[in-house]
Amino acid sequence: MPYTKEEKAEIWLDSFRFDYAKKAQIYKTAPDAYSLVEHFEKYRPKIAAAAGEDSCRKMEESLRSADYMHALLQTYTQKRIRCVCFSSELYPEELRQLPDPPLVLYCRGNAELLRERKFAIVGSRRTQPQILRLSVECSRALRAHFVIVTGLADGGDSAAAAGALESGKLISVLAYGFDHVYPECNRGLLEKIEEKGLAVTEYLPCEAPRGYLFPARNRIIAGLAEGVLVVSGGEKSGTRITADHAYSYGKDVFAFPYAPGVESGAGCNAIIKEYAKLTDNLVDIASAFGINLTATEEIELTQAELAVYNIIKEGETHVARILELTGLKAHELPAILTLLEMKNLIVSCGGNRYAAIK
């Protein structure tokens, strides 16, 4: 895909690995990136002031060399990276509205997804199993209307990704360059996302994952999406940052409520107190966007299944308790539990305990 002159200029500017503030300052010296390149001499003093003399000389040299841009673009092509620049037609309008929009979005996968309606689902790494399952379900239901935006962390993010991955309607925003994967155990997941959905980052491929990059990444998640569902998060977690960003951008923020004392949900409860909409089913989200979710299928249960389901609905229940209350035999129960699990009514929370998710 050929880039326009303006796009090339932005890619060129982004390739110098300035931090965001410097980059913005340089960018603002000229009316647009192309004129910055064309009339570099004219802006040179201002650029030198912003970036420092060394960097400025480096930029100058790169402009003189004929190969620099060619080599840069070739590397990106080799790495299957497509650059969506601020001036690109594909660049999401929502991001342009941000106070600190990324200059270039490096994309791997189906970049056309950026055009569609987007909804973010984020969760912390420590998320209860039943919430994970619930997140998968939410993601699966919403993918019919939205492209799901999320990160790549374990736990909540992975669950959201898992729900939307099959349909390919998934954008995963990374906080590092494409030469890296974090966490390592999600390497396979990232490969699948690049193949079916879209992975996006504002960082050069060589940028390694670092703690301080993640909060900045979260603003992109919040900025891209029309709304954010926070499935879990502690008082000071990254999901809280995403939610705060989304709120400050005027987006709808939804959060699952938690019981007091559940650490992995304290952040959710805190944002519900402040601005988020308490959400315990998808209808809450759907109605906010005027979407009609397809009616849930009627699930038929036998008497024994219903009895077990009703007990589990009371709260997280241990297998021994279910056996005691229903009088079922130990060999009858596993089959029933598996069936209920398959019908997406309950999930295993580990330790032979089960919780209802519907």
Of 58-66, 86-94, 179-187, 226-234, the segment contacting other proteins by CB under 8 A is: 179-187
From candidates 353, 354, 356, 357, binder to other proteins by CB under 8 A:
353
Tell me: does residue 318 bind other proteins (CB under 8 A). Answer: yes
Q: Find out whether 221 and 228 touch, Cβ atoms under 8 Å.
A: yes
Total number of residues that touch other proteins (CB under 8 A): 33
From candidates 168, 183, 209, 215, binder to other proteins by CB under 8 A:
183
**Least separation in angstroms between CB 337 and other proteins:** 6
Q: Find out whether 192 and 238 touch, Cβ atoms under 8 Å.
A: no
Tell me: does residue 187 bind other proteins (CB under 8 A). Answer: no
Of 168-176, 243-251, 293-301, 346-354, the segment contacting other proteins by CB under 8 A is: 346-354
Tell me: does residue 336 bind other proteins (CB under 8 A). Answer: yes
Picking from 340, 236, 227, 346, the residue whose alpha carbon sits closest to that of residue 279 is: 227
CA distance 47 to 58: 12
CA distance 235 to 112: 35
List phi, psi (to 5°) of 221: -60, -50
Tell me: does residue 323 bind other proteins (CB under 8 A). Answer: yes
Residues 6+ apart with CB under 8 A from 154: 125, 183, 185, 186
Binding track over 90-129 against other proteins, x by CB under 8 A? -----------------------------------xx--x
**Least separation in angstroms between CB 296 and other proteins:** 15
Tell me: does residue 331 bind other proteins (CB under 8 A). Answer: yes
Binding track over 133-172 against other proteins, x by CB under 8 A? ---------------------xx--x--------------
Nearest residue (CB) to other proteins, 155 versus 197: 155
Nearest residue (CB) to other proteins, 92 versus 197: 197
Tell me: does residue 342 bind other proteins (CB under 8 A). Answer: yes
Which residues sit opposite 353 in a β-bridge?
318, 350
Concatenated DSSP letters of 274-327: HTPEE-SSHHHHHHHTT--PPPPPPPP--HHHHHHHHHHHTS-EEHHHHHHHH-
From candidates 263, 274, 280, 314, binder to other proteins by CB under 8 A:
263
- Angle between helix axes 213-224 and 238-248 (nearest 10 degrees) is 40
**Least separation in angstroms between CB 232 and other proteins:** 12
Concatenated DSSP letters of 167-219: TT-EEEE-SS-TT--SSGGGHHHHHHHHHHSEEEESS-TTPPP-TTHHHHHHH
Tell me: does residue 277 bind other proteins (CB under 8 A). Answer: no
**Least separation in angstroms between CB 123 and other proteins:** 11
Residues 6+ apart with CB under 8 A from 80: 108, 194
The verdict on whether omega for the bond into residue 183 sits within 30 degrees of 0, i.e. cis, is: yes
From candidates 307, 311, 339, 358, binder to other proteins by CB under 8 A:
339
**Least separation in angstroms between CB 134 and other proteins:** 14
From candidates 211, 250, 327, 350, binder to other proteins by CB under 8 A:
350
Picking from 78, 103, 111, the residue whose alpha carbon sits closest to that of residue 179 is: 78
**Least separation in angstroms between CB 140 and other proteins:** 11
Nearest residue (CB) to other proteins, 64 versus 331: 331
Residue 94 tokens, joined: 């929502």
Q: Find out whether 218 and 109 touch, Cβ atoms under 8 Å.
A: no
Could you identify the residue written with the tokens 């297998």? Answer: 319
Tell me: does residue 349 bind other proteins (CB under 8 A). Answer: yes
Of 54-62, 171-179, 198-206, 339-347, the segment contacting other proteins by CB under 8 A is: 339-347
CA distance 127 to 150: 15
Instruction: Name the residues that contact other proteins, by CB under 8 A.
Output: 125-126, 129, 154-155, 158, 183-185, 263, 318-320, 323, 330-339, 341-342, 344, 348-353
